[in-house]
Structure 1
């Protein structure tokens, strides 16, 4: 049984979409709408719009769009029901329990509660005799008891089923632990604890839920660090370690480290804005998540080859997400944890203030590849450096960093400026050709972004969009549609939405786009958000309705005539083939 429509209408009436989005995106009002950097894709120039009047969001870059429910679904990778529950909790409402959806919600809540109980059990074992080795390791690493408590660190005993047995006493069976990623089964069907003889690091999301774990082994077993697999409540590409704490930092920046211990050591030293990705390289999803809370990112990875390569991969992802990026280069220590232990907190604070602009850092990495005493290699360095600098959008930045590269290679700034200008012009030509290809096919720009929703008849579809848009804006127009139904539409999606809006209007239900979330897919909502975001005057709505209906009916007649012609041609061909066959018979 679906969530009652009147409940959804009241929920959406109580939800201010501008306030909701503002919790994750920095918005600036321009005219009637609010604009910010899209949380769903990487961009430097805001193309993400929120309309308080229409109660929708729309990104004109990646195409995402919809209402409040869709925003929460996309932002946190939740189901429709789960997103409704988040919004309901936010405004003090309780979602009615019903059908299979209620079962899914209960399953998710059970897994979260299971993870919380597992974290408590691991933490208890850390101070028990079986956790002595783990506690000694953490104390040797310099972590205080308060730090161990703040991060909920624990220990998994060297046993095949210690956690299974401990949680069985609390009503959880082996299947629950398998679903939560806390247990595994082998080829013989035996189920045992995933984490054994490991120091345990709970992974907590921004809402404070324990969603997974990381574990460091105490012996020479591999892997050294073992992380929870993806589960119904955990996705390593969408979560960041310690962000639940770092998001409240007043530092205004985030420090990216390569692991749990570096992050925890920085927090203990007073740098409460440190985070780490979870057993994987930084992803675009990580970068977009961080951009919701911070304006600047300082990369503090290990100084070895792997750390440098990881920093090089992370820089463009963070920049595309709208973050200002700097890179920390440590000397005398391989990572932040070691640096603080060796030189102290104040030395690390000074190091942060001297962190290097990412362009200078990348130029230095390019320089390491060449011997600048050799003229041929010097030219190669300058050409590669010019390609990097030409990618900068600011002319001032290109001049400044061009000067840096020129000074490094011992040539004049003017000569370097010429090389950068050549590379920049080539980049512009390439971009211009790409845009020209798009501009030469204007009809394609009117098509939905999703191929599965493409229009067969653009002229009719544009008129169909107009009728749908009018109903979304003003449900009282439902009685002026002249008896037309979605059956006569050329677009199946627009026909379905038109009939749905008519029904809702006649039943006195909301026709705002947010209210349709439970009836449409994500791609369909994206396109409908674009449709409703287009200009439409309600002042002349009656004339607009007549014009739209006229176009739809005229195009429907043409389609019908075309189908009749096709049938006649097919019949004629069949008759001719039969006649030829009869004439050939002896």
Structure 2
């Protein structure tokens, strides 16, 4: 069971989309809409449009679009119920207790139980660290110069050398073996049964942005392998979508976030006052984590270990962060290996100075590239500049590219004009550009024809929502059945029903689609580009679209007509006659786009 349509619509109407999105994106009014830089892809010029009239947003660059619910689902990675709950709270609307379907209730109950188990486990580990059995763990943390305040702040704990203590503790709380198995806190084998996954380790609770414990990391005491162990993925823990320390770093008032490698890096930086540090969870940075960072900042400082593995990790992270729309700098900690070591040896002020003088990420990439060439050899130096020129072509903005050319020329002592000529020659050859593959003759003809009809249907839906006054005339010739693509047909049925009730409302219509991909596609059909200036051009284009849709509709109905359906055959003949009269100009559209 879901909330009623009327309640969903009440919550949507009480949350003006411009007000909500303005909290995330800087918007500027242009005509009847607002524009800003799209938060879902990297762009230099604003193509992200928010329409107060339609109460919808749409990006003409990447195609993202929807209503206020869709925006929160995409930006905050919310489910539809989570977005609804947040907006209800924002508008002061009290939600009734929802009766879930059996399956939905089971999933919700499972997640709730797993969160509770993790909370209990965190309390257990926390307690163990502060008892006699935790002396070794506490000695390790104190040896790393962590204060009691920091140890408590991060909820650090300890699992002792006996491998069934947590299991016995949670069984005593009444949890079943099936639930404990799904928690990721235990291993199971035929010989030993169920036993603790973490033992003889300092424990680092991993929390989501809402401060809920979703997993754990453990550092072994001694030389056993693996040195660090993380929870496996569960119903509540996806390491590719979470960052260690983000629950605290997101409320930092610093202008950027620092991404580093490990738990101790984050903890030591927070203790030193750099409370904007986070870490990926035992894996290389993912695109989901980059998008997560983008929610809270526009700039990321990369501090990975200064060894070869750290350099490679930084080079992998840079394009991912750039794609997410983040500006990036790389911090050099040499001669020290990591932030913890640097801060202990050089102090907080020196660390801050390194942060203030981070290397531009593109220049960092070039520095790494330089190591692959013999810069003392003329050929090696030339090859380096050729590769550099290819990379400069990635900058679409000419001013930005020119700035980099000047900086590279100063850094590597080369004439800027010579480098610019090299870039221009490569551009003329198409280097670094994606080549368009032309289809073989006739191969995609049917698909292209079908796409043409889909464009017509999409344009019609845009017109009907942009110019409600044309509906009466259009509906004489076009009905929901003339929209032959299933999704467009569904949208048309809902829209025509709204017109019959006298309230065309595309943002409300979108409430019927709770899947974010469907919402994006539906939003796109209300935002087709109509590059026509004059009234006469628009009227002619509308006539062309009606004719094309009728052609497609007649072909579709003919293909699916049952031979014995005489009524259907008569309707087809009437539709064909109508189409011929429209094409011949015998029927006139009495329409004004005003």
CA distance in 1, matches of 2:54, 2:273: 44
CA distance in 1, matches of 2:132, 2:29: 59
Pairwise CA RMSD of aligned residues? 4.0
CA distance in 2, matches of 1:102, 1:563: 42
Structure 2 matches for 1:470-549, cutoff 5 A?
470=464, 481=475, 486-503=480-497, 511-519=505-513, 521-534=515-528
SS of residue matched to 2:239: coil
8 Å Cα contact 1:385/1:405 also seen in 2: no
With the length of structure 1 as denominator, give the TM-score of the two structures: 0.82
The residue aligned with 2:53 is: 53
8 Å Cα contact 2:457/2:483 also seen in 1: no
CA distance in 2, matches of 1:189, 1:495: 59
Task: Quickly say closer, same or farther: Cα 1:384–1:545, change in 2 above 3 A.
Answer: closer
The residue aligned with 1:211 is: 214
Deviations 1:308-335 (A, max 9, x none): 1111111122222222221111222111
SS of residue matched to 1:99: coil
Farther off after superposition, 187-196 or 141-150? 187-196
How far is the alpha carbon of 1:554 from its aligned partner?
A: 5.0
SS of residue matched to 2:137: helix
Equivalent in 151, 156, 161 of residue 153 of structure 1: 156
Deviations 1:460-491 (A, max 9, x none): 76247525763698699699946975344311
Task: Quickly say closer, same or farther: Cα 1:562–1:504, change in 2 above 3 A.
Answer: closer
Task: Quickly say closer, same or farther: Cα 1:58–1:399, change in 2 above 3 A.
Answer: closer
2:176 aligned with 1:176, yes or no? no
8 Å Cα contact 2:249/2:278 also seen in 1: yes
With the length of structure 2 as denominator, give the TM-score of the two structures: 0.81
Alignment gaps of 5+ in structure 2: 565-594
Task: Quickly say closer, same or farther: Cα 1:410–1:117, change in 2 above 3 A.
Answer: same
How far is the alpha carbon of 1:10 from its aligned partner?
A: 1.6
How far is the alpha carbon of 1:267 from its aligned partner?
A: 1.0
8 Å Cα contact 1:26/1:36 also seen in 2: yes
CA distance in 1, matches of 2:295, 2:267: 22
SS of residue matched to 1:533: coil
Structure 2 matches for 1:321-400, cutoff 5 A?
321-400=324-403
2:138 aligned with 1:135, yes or no? yes
CA distance in 2, matches of 1:96, 1:480: 43
The residue aligned with 1:277 is: 280
Number of aligned positions between the proteins? 555
8 Å Cα contact 1:174/1:183 also seen in 2: no
SS of residue matched to 1:237: helix
The residue aligned with 2:32 is: 32
How far is the alpha carbon of 1:388 from its aligned partner?
A: 2.8
How far is the alpha carbon of 1:141 from its aligned partner?
A: 0.7
CA distance in 2, matches of 1:51, 1:83: 20
Farther off after superposition, 111-120 or 18-27? 18-27
SS of residue matched to 1:63: coil
Task: Quickly say closer, same or farther: Cα 1:369–1:558, change in 2 above 3 A.
Answer: closer
Farther off after superposition, 272-281 or 83-92? 83-92
Farther off after superposition, 149-158 or 264-273? 149-158
8 Å Cα contact 2:459/2:528 also seen in 1: no
The residue aligned with 1:291 is: 294
The residue aligned with 1:574 is: none
8 Å Cα contact 1:467/1:548 also seen in 2: no
Alignment gaps of 5+ in structure 1: 568-586
Deviations 1:385-418 (A, max 9, x none): 3323343345455455445545565544443333
Task: Quickly say closer, same or farther: Cα 1:394–1:9, change in 2 above 3 A.
Answer: closer
Question: Which structure is richer in relative contact order (CA contacts within 8 A, separation 6 or more)?
Answer: 1
How far is the alpha carbon of 1:133 from its aligned partner?
A: 1.5
Task: Quickly say closer, same or farther: Cα 1:394–1:84, change in 2 above 3 A.
Answer: closer
The residue aligned with 1:557 is: 554
How far is the alpha carbon of 1:277 from its aligned partner?
A: 1.2
CA distance in 2, matches of 1:417, 1:213: 51
How far is the alpha carbon of 1:548 from its aligned partner?
A: 7.1
Task: Quickly say closer, same or farther: Cα 1:36–1:216, change in 2 above 3 A.
Answer: farther
CA distance in 2, matches of 1:464, 1:61: 17
Farther off after superposition, 405-414 or 321-330? 405-414
How far is the alpha carbon of 1:302 from its aligned partner?
A: 0.8
2:67 aligned with 1:70, yes or no? no
CA distance in 1, matches of 2:28, 2:211: 29
The residue aligned with 2:567 is: none
SS of residue matched to 2:238: coil
Task: Quickly say closer, same or farther: Cα 1:531–1:300, change in 2 above 3 A.
Answer: same
2:100 aligned with 1:99, yes or no? yes
CA distance in 1, matches of 2:21, 2:59: 13
